[in-house]
């Protein structure tokens, strides 16, 4: 069996704030059940994005939220062409989310970086290789 990435789990401080961000980004995230601490959305690529306020903090006694402004991972979202990168960046930054890099022609794809409410860095890209339709 080939190993597959099936889920990305983000431990978040405020499920509602995270839902506002990812919905604004364009994901059709469901509402949590009343009092729930978990929300999951399976994307067309087959990967599920799961937001939770109580997994790592409950099961890993050494877990602590990241600090210091650094990050060790990025979530890449293929948003379409360069114009969509521009408009998505403008919408998120205009809504008050922290931009780390404005839309830029990198040595690879046209891309921008923005933080979600918990400081997770989201890479917005027009890189065709990241499209769910890429072979």
What's the CATH code of the domain at 90?
3.10.180.10
Domain range enclosing 41: 7-65+72-130
Residue 99 pLDDT: 95
- Which parts of the chain register pLDDT below 50? none
Q: Label residue 83 left, alpha or beta by phi (over 0 means left) and psi (-120 to 50 means alpha).
A: alpha
In a domain, 135, yes or no: no
Burial status of residue 125 (CB atoms within 10 A of its CB: 0-12, 13-18, 19 or more):
buried
Listing DSSP states for 108-125 in one string gives SSEEEEEE-TTS-EEEEE
Residue 36 pLDDT: 83
In a domain, 26, yes or no: yes
Q: Order of strands across the sheet with 38-42?
A: 7-11, 48-52, 38-42
12 with 63: CB under 8 angstroms? no
Q: Please state, in angstroms and rounded to a whole number, the distance separating the CA atoms of residues 46 and 4.
A: 10
Q: Please state, in angstroms and rounded to a whole number, the distance separating the CA atoms of residues 6 and 39.
A: 15
Residue 135 pLDDT: 57
Burial status of residue 88 (CB atoms within 10 A of its CB: 0-12, 13-18, 19 or more):
buried
Number of domains in the chain: 1
Give residue-wise pLDDT tens across range 14-52: 999 999 999 999 999 999 887 788 999 999 888 999 999
In a domain, 1, yes or no: no
Please report which helix (H) or strand (E) contains residue 90, including its range: helix 82-94
């Amino acid at each position: 069996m080939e190993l597959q990435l099936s889920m990305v789990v983000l431990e978040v401080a405020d499920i509602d704030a995270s839902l506002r961000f990812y919905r604004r980004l364009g994901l059709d995230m469901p509402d949590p059940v009343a009092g729930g601490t978990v929300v999951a959305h399976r994307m067309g690529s087959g990967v599920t994005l799961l937001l939770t306020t109580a997994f790592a903090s409950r099961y890993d006694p050494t877990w602590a939220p990241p600090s210091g402004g650094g990050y060790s991972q990025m979530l890449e979202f293929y948003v379409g062409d360069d114009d969509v990168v521009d408009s998505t960046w403008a919408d998120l930054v205009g809504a008050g989310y922290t931009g780390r890099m404005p839309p830029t022609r990198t040595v690879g794809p046209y891309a921008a970086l923005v933080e979600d409410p918990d400081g997770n860095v989201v890479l917005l890209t027009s890189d065709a290789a990241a499209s769910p339709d890429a072979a």
